[in-house]
Amino acid sequence: MGLVITKNQPKDYFTFFMYENSSGVTALFGEFTNNRYLLDKKNPNGYFLDWESKEWKEIEVEFEGLDFAKFLEKAPIHFIQTKDYAFWASTNNLENIGWNLIDKETGQIFYFSSRNVDMEIAPYLEIVGNVLTYPAPNGQVITLDLDQIRAKSKEVGLITIKEASFFKSNYLIYFLLFLLSLGVMGVMGRKIFVKRKKIKSESSVELTSLQTLLPYAGQCLTTETLDTLLGIDDKVNFDSGRMKRARLINDLNKQYLAQVGKELILREKNPEDKRFMRYKIQA
């Protein structure tokens, strides 16, 4: 197999934080480095290489309460990739940073309150599925099941793929300047109005979804059933559906947390087939 040509590869970008899922490769928390041009700039987000389109896309990292400037300055020196998670342990004492797991398929980021980094300094580390086995400094062999850690963790962030920016194309910028020079501010005003109307419509959709899910309190729903209730079109591609589902779940959980003090939708592995997720509705 020869080299594969990809589109929009980020120039001078480097990172150790990379993991792979069924849709592509995610590269996080890197930096743009080129000594020839005195380039040395941290990047708080990262990029995603889509297997299907062979295109690099910008991603956005939402992380509750985190100062990314301090995080990148004190970034963990090592991370571990298991079957379902990208995992790192840190002692930098930043908010929501300790043991952190990224669900490789959904992009959800979780935090578990521990600052033990023995697995990173152990002379050997065995990884089977999502289970780590390593010796502690005192010689005791430790077995760490990341599925169990995930169940005891709280969700603190989400990784999403940015939509293509309207203003990143030079041709579109020139076109906008041309429109402005002709004095068509009314067109731009209409776009702002449509955007606000869309945001209002999305809020209404989320409220409707909340009311739709409450009758299923105490039940565990499959991904297909949840998508139907959330109004996610089953004809959209896998990646688009996954990202829309993750965003809606995150928004609904925030809304329900503000109202009743707990999340509405809990994600868990399907005990009959751990390759798949199921979603428990709690009222």
Residue 136: which domain range?
A: 13-160
Count of structural domains, the chain: 2
Residue after which a domain boundary falls, among 137, 160, 183: 160
Query: Would you say residue 146 lies in a domain?
Result: yes
Edge-first strand order for the sheet with 39-42 is: 13-14, 31-34, 39-42
Residues 37 and 131 in one domain: yes
pLDDT of 203 strictly over 60 = no
Average pLDDT over the chain, rounded to an integer: 82
pTM, entire model: 0.57
Measured over the CA atoms of residue 166, residue 170, residue 172 and residue 176, the dihedral's sign is: positive
8 A C-beta contact, residue 132 and residue 143: yes
pLDDT, tens only, 80-115: 999 999 999 888 888 888 999 999 999 999 999 998
Separation between Cα atoms, residue 131 and residue 113, nearest integer Å:
18
Q: How many C-beta neighbours within 10 Å does residue 52 have? A: 10
Pick 206 or 33 by higher pLDDT: 33
What's the pLDDT score for residue 227? 85
Amino acid found at 256: Y
Residues 201 and 152 in one domain: no
Query: Would you say residue 165 lies in a domain?
Result: no
pLDDT-based confidence at residue 254 (cuts at 50, 70, 90):
confident
Residue after which a domain boundary falls, among 160, 194, 210: 160
Residues 156 and 17 in one domain: yes
pLDDT of 1 strictly over 60 = no
pLDDT-based confidence at residue 217 (cuts at 50, 70, 90):
confident
What's the pLDDT score for residue 102? 94
pLDDT, tens only, 129-166: 999 999 999 999 999 999 999 999 999 999 998 865 43
What's the pLDDT score for residue 166? 39
Measured over the CA atoms of residue 16, residue 52, residue 267 and residue 245, the dihedral's sign is: positive
pLDDT, tens only, 30-83: 889 888 888 888 888 899 999 999 999 999 998 888 887 777 776 656 789 999
